[in-house]
Amino acid sequence: MKDRNRKNILAAGGLWAAAALAAAGCASYAPIEWQSRAVPEAQGLVAVADGKPQQQRYKQDPFQGVKPDWSQYRTYAYTDAKPEIPVTKAAMPKDLQGDAKEGRKIFMNRNLGPCTGCHLIRGEDVWPAGNIGSDLQQYGDAGHKDEEIYQRIFDARVLNPDSIMPPWGASGGLTPQQIMHLVAFLKSQKGPLPPEKDANRDPNTRAKPPGFGDNLDPTNNPAVLLAEEAEADWKKKGSKGKACADCHEASPSKSMKGVGARYPRFVAEHGRVMALEEFLMMHSPATTGIDMPSEGDLNLKMTVLVKMQSNGMPLALDLTGPEAKAALERGEKTFFKRVGQRNHACADCHLDEPGKGGNKFLGGRLLATRESGMMNHFPTWRTNFSRIWDARKRFQWCLLPLGMNYLPSDSVEYAELELYVASFGQGKPLSVPGIRH
């Protein structure tokens, strides 16, 4: 049998048990062991294909074609005991020479970063550049020694323990030769700056995006039409002879009013925190016989339909019980946990603090802050992919550029992370479905 035809499942994230919680010091409640019930491509399984282990990701953009297996780097899984990438002091190799032209190519290479996602350099072709990191257009005038620049790229934490710069050398993301090229390129960024021809090229003068208009205008947001399709599904009977409409009297606009504003929440029946998507995944087959797996089309449509009935209402999560408090604590730890080859945490991009990315540009994207109510508009229509995404798929997508295998969309880890992030939207109105680039 050829390797590409083998279905040798090597690992799966998201399976965890009470013992793992106890080991993590979170014994406030002991959820049941959870096995993913999401659609297969949302489960994040790793299988051998073309002779190499690969994570089985979604078959649509931007996941399609992203083949690396990053199992060696730590993840958000509670059972993952891998440590953070060790802080590494590096000696600049004496037998390697850098080339500034090669260094610029590496700096601009989207498959290697790109570095321009965080830093601005010279050149009208530099688009989009971010401003999370420092402006490097005159970096060569600063008088840094080659050895210092090399160390800063290899592992900046040696010079600044709080740096969010990926440890490119320590993680294996860049080779010593590539780093030497970058050193030569950065030394070349010197002298007076040419006049700026485009204010949008510079992330420090670029206008902030105005948004995408009214979420609920069906001529503006295609996801609204998907919700209308779900109204027909609301009345369809499943293998158990029942439909949603048979148990929930009246229309969704009456029976589901306020329901979406209470999720995520701890669901005692299942012993864990669940977003609405996960509750539907379990509730629908149990009551109607209709499968509604996480990341399935029907699940997304029905989630939008239910949540729309709470639009304009403030998010009203129950954060008072011991289960919710314990979940919030674990979600917060996940938010600050550095993972993947880039060694990044959610906090690195979504805190509006010095040295963090909140309210700054990552490439052409303005990063939202934790406090902005990031979860109040999910599921959201993604204009650049022409698809609707829930918060879990958004989490999974965030982890690709970090060089981390994603967890199953219905994992408890994501549910508790979502609860934590959503808690900052408490009291802010729901507006579902959202629309974003």
- Rounded (5°) CA angle 373-379-383: 100
Which secondary-structure segment (H or E) carries 362?
strand 361-362
| Over residues 106-130, mean pLDDT | 92
The position carrying tokens 């592992």 is 155
Model pTM?
Answer: 0.91
In 4-65 the beta strands, taken as DSSP E runs, fall at 9-11, 46-49, 52-55
* Confidence at residue 81, expressed as pLDDT on a 0 to 100 scale: 92
Which residue has better confidence, 29 or 67?
67
- pLDDT tens digits, 120-156: 999 999 988 999 999 999 999 999 999 999 999 999 9
Lowest-confidence region among 167-171, 205-209, 308-312, 353-357: 205-209
The 8-class DSSP code of residue 294 comes to: T
Whether the per-residue pLDDT at 54 is higher than 50: the answer is yes
* Confidence at residue 17, expressed as pLDDT on a 0 to 100 scale: 43
Q: Is 317 within 8 Å of 23 (Cβ atoms)?
A: no
Q: Which two tokens stand for residue 414?
A: 């994501």
Whether the per-residue pLDDT at 10 is higher than 50: the answer is no
Which residue has better confidence, 128 or 280?
280
- Pick from 274, 401, 262: which is nearest to 341 by CA? 401
* Confidence at residue 299, expressed as pLDDT on a 0 to 100 scale: 97
- Pick from 346, 324, 360: which is nearest to 399 by CA? 346
Lowest-confidence region among 24-38, 196-210, 237-251, 422-436: 24-38
Q: Is the peptide bond before 293 cis (omega within 30 degrees of 0)?
A: no
* Confidence at residue 111, expressed as pLDDT on a 0 to 100 scale: 84
Percent of the chain with pLDDT over 70: 93
| Over residues 164-191, mean pLDDT | 97
pLDDT band at 9 (very low <50, low <70, confident <90, very high): very low
* Confidence at residue 31, expressed as pLDDT on a 0 to 100 scale: 60
pLDDT band at 2 (very low <50, low <70, confident <90, very high): very low
Alpha-carbon distance of 86 to 68, in angstroms, equals 22
Using CA atoms, how far residue 284 sits from 149, 292, 412, 414, in Å, is 57, 6, 19, 21
| Over residues 377-402, mean pLDDT | 94
* Confidence at residue 22, expressed as pLDDT on a 0 to 100 scale: 42
pLDDT band at 28 (very low <50, low <70, confident <90, very high): low
| Over residues 205-212, mean pLDDT | 87
* Confidence at residue 102, expressed as pLDDT on a 0 to 100 scale: 98
* Confidence at residue 65, expressed as pLDDT on a 0 to 100 scale: 85
Burial class from Cβ neighbours inside 10 Å (0-12, 13-18, 19+) for residue 353 reads: exposed
* Confidence at residue 261, expressed as pLDDT on a 0 to 100 scale: 98
Mean pLDDT value across the chain: 91
Whether the per-residue pLDDT at 19 is higher than 60: the answer is no
Using CA atoms, how far residue 62 sits from 8, 217, 343, 385, 399, in Å, is 25, 26, 21, 8, 12
Whether the per-residue pLDDT at 18 is higher than 70: the answer is no
pLDDT band at 112 (very low <50, low <70, confident <90, very high): confident
| Over residues 59-77, mean pLDDT | 92
